[in-house]
Structure formats: structure tokens, C-alpha cells
């Protein structure tokens, strides 16, 4: 054979062998990183067909999915990767990572008003807004006795509204929401509204509608493709809801701005204006602007009103469902507080069983999936690759109903939070307000409201179900687990001892 021909065969073989080796090595070094396991998905649709067939509450379905795939698993909504975490230690480690501190963009909100606030911002804007908000709310008394007095005053207005029912059955939801929302109004606008105020009513109607759209349908807010499908009925509803709330809140902020005086900081809104204007005049770069004020105030209303109202609704429901527990709470309050004054925040350390009841309420009534996070940079969780852009969900419901941590979790047992000597015990895995860098900013406020309103109501009334009515603990699934509508009868206890507000 001619030497040139032989050499050409050798070269071809060498080149082919080199290509094979290169291809194998490229695959080895560039192969997809290990994503969390999960169900097989359809091309283009992802796991939408499987998710659409879920007939039980989403958090329970995800809990079962985690039992199959592990405490870190994933699925896709169209092309959006969603990772679910449902183990306490995993969540604690993950939520401390700055890469997982982002928020997914609320896509439909960006159609009607582009911008972000304390609840929805990520990165540097979130850092600035969180730092300011934490400081401003502390100065306004969050966690302090000064705000406790304001909550007590609102609780007395609530008591008077309940007295007006004259022993007849009523749905407590609106009354509870009025009181809770007015505490937020005090922080944000420096004053409360009369419950009959038209603007106040409009604000709460818009807020309620927004939360009703939340639940499973809220996923349209986080998947960009849905924001482009504005012809879909669910998208139309979200747009209409956003615009209605923007109009009402925008008018309230404009009205409030008329009374703004730089030297007087009446509330959170004034403090925001002052900080924003100070940075602008000093030439400091800032993410504080009128739109971020709107979204921050809206976030405080949305997160603070619905969750606390729902929790109070569960409290009354469990008290009428477990009258022996209600009686025990009342006896403890009467023993510590007496009948000549109302309970105060300073009574809390001595009201150990009352604290245990509130803790058990937190365990059974929560934001089941928390607020979604977004991965802002590639990272890992428990050895799994979490790519940038992933939406991360924490299944808090699973953690608070894990039988390995909570014996017979379906039972309502406040004694879980008492030791053998009857002392109140805090349990590390009770995390209804989330955990990590983005834990709920209003946690202290919510705990103050719940304690004061609960103890005042127990001091002043005994709550019972209407004659012949059954008590159901079935939840209405939305952004929060709210009780389905129910009615209650309030029987006054030594009503002459309360002072009118």
C-alpha cells in the first residue's frame, strides 16, 4: 500500500478517535448538574397536566409528593422550574443563603404598575427597603408597650361591636378584619378609620378579592408566560383586582401626603417620605420612590391583615369547638388579671396556658407554603443544583404537621407547648412566620395583636356555636388557610368592668 494512503487512514482514525474522546469528555464535564428529583413532565407544559388533576389542598399534595421524592424535590410549570423544600433543617440552611433571598416577579402586577416594595423586591432594593422598614417600624413601637396600648384600644372598639350583636349569632370575620386592618392603618397612616368609613370598606373589599384570587390560581403571577395571555379569564381577574386596589390605595396615599410635614413623622408613610427626600437632596442613590412606597404599604396591608384576621378566626372557632380549653384560658386570665381591668401585654409571661393555646393555633393555621422565593444565582441545597431563576417554595404545613415532631398532629393539643411542670416551652420547629433572612417582617406585630385581642375577647365574652350548629375545622384555601365562614354567639362576662374607648 502506498505510504501516503496508509498515513491518510491513520490520520482519519486518529481524528475520529479524538472526536469520540472529546465528545465523551465534553459530556462528562458539561453534563447537566443534579437537579432535585420530581415527577416526569410533558414537553412545553411541564407538570401542568398532573397539577391540574390535584383534588386535595395543594400543600397536602406537595407533602405527599415529598414523601415519594424526598424533602427537596422539583416540578415544572411550563418552563419554570419550581423547587419545594419541606424539611426543617433543609429550609433553615437554604433560607440563610443570600442566593435564595430573591422574590419571583409578580408578573401581572408589573403590567398595571411596574415596581417593587418590601415584600416583592430582591437584591439591593430589598436590602434598602428592609433596613428602612425594620427601623421605621421599631420607632413606631412594634414590639413595644406603646403600640400595645394602641392595639388594646382597637380591641375595645372590637368588643363594643360584638356587644351590639345583643347575643345573636354573627359571622366574626368582618369585625376581626376591621380591628386588624385598623392597627395597620395606625402604623401606615397614623390614625384609625371608623368601621363605617366608605374608603375603609372599599380598601378591605379590594384586599379580600385579591386574597381570594391568591391560592392555587396565584401561580399565574409568577410565570412570565401567563402575563402575556391577558385574554385568559384568571389573568383578567388578577389585572382588574390589581387596578382596583391601586386606585384605592393610591388615593389614600395622595390624601395623606397633603398633611406631610418634614419635621413631624406621624407614621411609616411620613418616615418613608422623609428618608426618600433626604437621600434625593444629598444625591445618594436610592431605590425609595413613590412606587416602592405604594408596594411597601400594600405589602404591609396585604400580609398583615389577612394572616392575622384568619388566625383570629381560627382562635374563635377552636374556642367554640373546644369549650373546655376556652374555660381553662378564661380561668387563667381571671386568676392573673382579675375582673377589674383588661389584659395587657405585660401579663403575657404569667399566662402560660394562653401562650400554649396561641402556639397550637399557629401550628394549625398558617400560610401553608410561605411566600415564594427566587434563586438569584446558581447554588446548591442538600447536594442538589438550584439554577438561577428557580422559584423556591417552603412547605411549612408539612413541617408543622410532621408526626415525627408533633405526636398526632391532627389533634388540637396546646399541652404540646407545656413541660411537665406546666411551664411554657418554645419549640424550634414552630415557624409559621418563616425562617432565615426573609422571615416575616411583621412577626412581632402579629404576635402582639393576637395575644392582646385574644385575651381581651376571652376576658369579656364566652363564645359558643349557635344552637344546633355543628363546628367544622375545614379550611378555605387561598394565600392563607382561613376557616370556612361560620357564625358564633358571644355571651358577655361581667361587661360592666370594661371602659368604653
Q: Spell out the residues 6+ positions from residue 160 whose beta carbon is closer than 8 angstroms to its own.
A: 500, 501
Q: How far apart are CA 307 and CA 446, in angstroms?
A: 8
Q: Can you tell me whether residue 184 is helix, strand or coil?
A: helix
Pairing type for strands 391-394 and 481-483 reads unpaired
Q: How far apart are CA 315 and CA 414, in angstroms?
A: 12
Match 405527599 to its residue by C-alpha cell.
Answer: 64
Q: How far apart are CA 188 and CA 48, in angstroms?
A: 40
Closest-CA residue to 222 (of 46, 367, 371) = 371
Order across the sheet with 72-77: list the strands: 72-77, 80-85, 391-394, 373-374
Q: How far is CA 311 from the centre of its chain?
A: 12
Question: In angstroms, what CA-CA distances link 141 with 176, 239, 411, 436, 439?
Answer: 22, 35, 36, 23, 19
Take residue 479 and report the three cell numbers written for it: 394565600
Q: How far apart are CA 46 and CA 35, in angstroms?
A: 15
Backbone angles phi, psi at 338, to 5 degrees: 85, -175
Q: How far apart are CA 62 and CA 87, in angstroms?
A: 12
**323-337 vs 443-460: helix axis angle to the nearest 10?**
90
- The response to whether 185 counts as a known ligand-binding position is no
Binding-site residues for heme, in ranges, read 440
Binding-site residues, in ranges, read 440
Amino acid at each position: 500500500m502506498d505510504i501516503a494512503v496508509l498515513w491518510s487512514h491513520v490520520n482519519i482514525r486518529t481524528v475520529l478517535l479524538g472526536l469520540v474522546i472529546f465528545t465523551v469528555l465534553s459530556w462528562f464535564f458539561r453534563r447537566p448538574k443534579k437537579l432535585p428529583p420530581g415527577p416526569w413532565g410533558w414537553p412545553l407544559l411541564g407538570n401542568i397536566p398532573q397539577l391540574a388533576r390535584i383534588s386535595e389542598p395543594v400543600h397536602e399534595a406537595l407533602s405527599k409528593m415529598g414523601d415519594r421524592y424526598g424533602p427537596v424535590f422539583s416540578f415544572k410549570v411550563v418552563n419554570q422550574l419550581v423547587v419545594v423544600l419541606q424539611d426543617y433543617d433543609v429550609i433553615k440552611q437554604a433560607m440563610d443563603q443570600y442566593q435564595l433571598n430573591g422574590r419571583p416577579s409578580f408578573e401581572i402586577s408589573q403590567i398595571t404598575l411596574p415596581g417593587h416594595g418590601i415584600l416583592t423586591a430582591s437584591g439591593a432594593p430589598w436590602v434598602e427597603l428592609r433596613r428602612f422598614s425594620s427601623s421605621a417600624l421599631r420607632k413606631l413601637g412594634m414590639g413595644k408597650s406603646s403600640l400595645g396600648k394602641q392595639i388594646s384600644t382597637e380591641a375595645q372598639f372590637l368588643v363594643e361591636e360584638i356587644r351590639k350583636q345583643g347575643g345573636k349569632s354573627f359571622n366574626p370575620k368582618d369585625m376581626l378584619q376591621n380591628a386588624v386592618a385598623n392597627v395597620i392603618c395606625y402604623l401606615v397612616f397614623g390614625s384609625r378609620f371608623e368601621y363605617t368609613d366608605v374608603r375603609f370598606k372599599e380598601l378591605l373589599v379590594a384586599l379580600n378579592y385579591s386574597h381570594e384570587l391568591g391560592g392555587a390560581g396565584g401561580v399565574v403571577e409568577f410565570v412570565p408566560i401567563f402575563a402575556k395571555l391577558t385574554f385568559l379569564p384568571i389573568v383578567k381577574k388578577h389585572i382588574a383586582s390589581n387596578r382596583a386596589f391601586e386606585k384605592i390605595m393610591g388615593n389614600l396615599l395622595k390624601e395623606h401626603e397633603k398633611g406631610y410635614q418634614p419635621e413631624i413623622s406621624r407614621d411609616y408613610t411620613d418616615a418613608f417620605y422623609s428618608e426618600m427626600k433626604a437621600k434625593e437632596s444629598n444625591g445618594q442613590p436610592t431605590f425609595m420612590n413613590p412606587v416602592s412606597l405604594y408596594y411597601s404599604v400594600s405589602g404591609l396591608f396585604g400580609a398583615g391583615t389577612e394572616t392575622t384576621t384568619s388566625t383570629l378566626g381560627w382562635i374563635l372557632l377552636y374556642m367554640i369547638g373546644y369549650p373546655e380549653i376556652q374555660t381553662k384560658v378564661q380561668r387563667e386570665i381571671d386568676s392573673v388579671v382579675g375582673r377589674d381591668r383588661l389584659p395587657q401585654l405585660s401579663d403575657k409571661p404569667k399566662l402560660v396556658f394562653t401562650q400554649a393555646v396561641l402556639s397550637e393555633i399557629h401550628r394549625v393555621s398558617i400560610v401553608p407554603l410561605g411566600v415564594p422565593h427566587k434563586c438569584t444565582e446558581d447554588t446548591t441545597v442538600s447536594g442538589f443544583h438550584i439554577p438561577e431563576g428557580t422559584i423556591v417554595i417552603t412547605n411549612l404545613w408539612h413541617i408543622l404537621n410532621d408526626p415525627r415532631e408533633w405526636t398526632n398532629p391532627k389533634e388540637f393539643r396546646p399541652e404540646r407547648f407545656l413541660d411537665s411542670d406546666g411551664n411554657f416551652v418554645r419549640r424550634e420547629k414552630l415557624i409559621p412566620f418563616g425562617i432565615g433572612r426573609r422571615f416575616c417582617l411583621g412577626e412581632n406585630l402579629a404576635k402582639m395583636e393576637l395575644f392582646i385581642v385574644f385575651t381581651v375577647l376571652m376576658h369579656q365574652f364566652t363564645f359558643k356555636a349557635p344552637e344546633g350548629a355543628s363546628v367544622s375545622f375545614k379550611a378555605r384555601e387561598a394565600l392563607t388557610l382561613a376557616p370556612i365562614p361560620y357564625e358564633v354567639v358571644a355571651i358577655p362576662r361581667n361587661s360592666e368592668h370594661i371602659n368604653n374607648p
